[in-house]
Amino acid sequence: MTILGMMSAVAGLIKVHYSIDKASIDNMVFRTHYRLTSAILFVSSIIVTANNLIGYPIQCIHDRVNHPHVINTFCWITYTFTLPHEQGKKVGTEVAFPGLGNENQDKTYHSYYQWVPFVLFFQGIMFYLPHWIWKNWEQGKIRMITDGLRGSLPGPREEREARQNRLVQYIMESMHLHNTYAFGYFLCEILNFVNVIVNIIMTDKFLGGAFLSYGTDVISFSNMDQENRTDPMVRIFPRMTKCTFTKYGPSGSIQKHDALCVLALNILNEKIYIFLWFWFIIVAVLSGLAICYSAAVVLLPNTRETILRRRFRFGAINSVDTIIRRTQVGDFLLLHFLGQNMNLLVFGEILDELVRRLNFGSSSNLPSAPSTLEMTPMYPEIEKYGDSGSEGTTTTIW
């Protein structure tokens, strides 16, 4: 029931997150990092701490020690070990279990299992960090300027047109002033890619250099003859290990006791890390493609033209050409975020008005648009959220 309670709490956070009316300030790949990947890592951290799934994480046996819980605690807080020269031998005839046997050769020590939940939780924070940086850099700009225009066709036509005119006036007045804004977004996209690579390398170091080839080893294992194969998951996450416990005997001499320890926790660890191996690769590939896409937007005007035509269905040739020629990268990123937060019809009307003003200036028969410094009364949410750009009083990590 403990694990169900923890999962219910996580589900409650997700439900609260999606119930908040918030603007979209990133793309799907970006959200894969701070929503999906962080959630996976946090849930994995919860799972490996849930003793009711596996019982005790470690159980050691020894015939001559009267208090087995002492050995369990000792071996858990210190380390256990296996013997690499005993790997690959037949279980039941040559060895009692993979990695167990005589201790006359090198030992492989295992102490990572104490730190698995902490490392998983820390990795979840690492995947959320670029989003936190970008959210504070962005300061709620898109949410404020699209208030009342997001979603389906908002409000009466007169009110919508007034809001659209004010938004177009803001775009005109702030033209060419959004490059720093765009730099922050592209920087955080690069941080996402660097972060996933760092996490792969960090996990490999954490598991003693076995993570980089972990997935390929498991795939090769599944294709091998069943009688001649050694499970790489058992080698990296052994289920049975040895532990040396020393104590003073009745005469005051030091006595050495070898115990066999069952690491039931590794049943969960091996499944979690084989999933993370494939997931990190997928996220790294998607992040690399997202950076290539952003680089194309920055360097190739034809890419921006294609986005306007294909994604936002803004097809007037002369209008698209005017936007591409008269805007810079920061302006285009702002328009891109506006487009993904609005109905296509509303966004098309805004682009049409923007093109008209770029070509001919403001029309005298339109109501005079206020300065951008006077936009606060139009958006009462600004007073609620303040200048820091925070997104309300409800705080979640999802």
pLDDT, tens digit, 9 for 90 and up, residues 24-63: 899 999 999 999 999 999 999 998 887 656 667 888 887 6
Chain-centroid distance, C-alpha 192: 8
- 119-161 pLDDT, tens per residue? 999 999 999 999 999 999 999 999 999 888 887 666 677 888 8
In a domain, 11, yes or no: no
Asked if residue 289 lies in contact with residue 192, where contact means CB atoms within 8 angstroms, the answer is no
In a domain, 391, yes or no: no
Q: What pLDDT score was predicted for residue 66? A: 65
In a domain, 216, yes or no: yes
Asked if residue 181 lies in contact with residue 380, where contact means CB atoms within 8 angstroms, the answer is no
- 180-238 pLDDT, tens per residue? 999 999 999 999 999 999 999 999 999 888 899 888 888 887 766 555 556 777 778 88
CA distance 253 to 248: 5
Of 245-249, 279-283, 293-297, 318-322, the range with the lowest mean pLDDT is 245-249
Pick from 170, 203, 172, 210: nearest CA to 87 = 210
In a domain, 14, yes or no: no
Pick from 180, 196, 182: nearest CA to 288 = 196
Domain that residue 156 falls in: 24-382
In a domain, 234, yes or no: yes
- 267-310 pLDDT, tens per residue? 889 899 999 999 999 999 999 999 999 999 999 999 999 999 88
In a domain, 346, yes or no: yes
Asked if residue 80 lies in contact with residue 265, where contact means CB atoms within 8 angstroms, the answer is no
In the chain, the number of structural domains is: 1
In a domain, 19, yes or no: no
